[in-house]
Amino acid sequence: MTISVSEYFAKRKKAERKKEPRYIAVINRNSCTSCNSCASVCPVDCIYEVPGVLPSESYHQIDTTRCIGCQLCYRVPSESTDFFTLTVCPWNAIDMLYNPAQKKDVIVLEPYYRGEKQEDMPWDEIEEFGYVLYLNEEIRVRPTDELRQRVIDYFTQPVWATNGETPFRICHPEPEDHGNYRLYRVTPEGLQLLTRVYEHYPKVFMD
């Protein structure tokens, strides 16, 4: 069932799940047509619709902080094999990724961080948010979610750069305040860096 972004964050005020999933799903807004195929099968209702001025401009997004990685929005388990994947989305707009919290591999954004490194930096969430920002150039964060608010704060500080560049922000520091969530948008410099980092990021399933 489709639920609007404003209603979603009004009703689901916590980013909670019992444990970290092995996978997480992310929707590419530029490929999504808001057909509702994914939202209709999500068992935890973590998919919402962002209405556009025109119906053709609407798109769906996945709240990755609540996604359980069940794959039901991505493929039909009973009709998919190791050699064939029957996808749910008719536009192939969903990426299944290894959850950075479970992958425990190289943190792809770390080499570009120029700020003061702390022992407890939430690199798993930083990597997750980075991919969402790469695909959609925006991300929504609950103001009451202290961990994710801390994560997005790293993106809004001028502490990112490639070799020889002046440090810049990945996200604009002033978000759009929508009450139950804040909308952060990517800067042009930030998008260039995220594209460089995530263009060949490994996906779990490829068809």
Q: Residue 30's pLDDT band (boundaries 50, 70, 90)?
A: very high
Domain boundaries, the chain: 5-198
Q: Residue 1's pLDDT band (boundaries 50, 70, 90)?
A: low
pLDDT(71) > 60: yes
H or E element: which one contains 25?
strand 23-27
Evaluate whether 29 touches 135 at the Cβ level (below 8 Å): yes
* Res 101: pLDDT: 86
Evaluate whether 188 touches 165 at the Cβ level (below 8 Å): no
> Which range among 105-109, 118-122, 140-144, 178-182 shows the weakest confidence by mean pLDDT?
105-109
Pairwise CA distance, residues 198 & 187, whole Å:
16
Pairwise CA distance, residues 183 & 187, whole Å:
13
pTM of the model as a whole? 0.91
Alpha helices in the chain (DSSP H): 5-11, 100-103, 123-136, 146-155, 188-198
Q: What value does the mean pLDDT of the chain take? A: 92
Q: Residue 207's pLDDT band (boundaries 50, 70, 90)?
A: very low
**Model confidence pLDDT, tens digit, residues 74-132:** 988 777 777 777 789 999 999 999 999 887 677 899 999 999 988 889 999 999 999 99
Architecture field, domain 5-198: 2-Layer Sandwich (3.30)
Q: Which residues of 20-39 are buried (b: 16+ CB within 10 A; e: fewer)?
A: ebebbbbbbbeebebeebbb
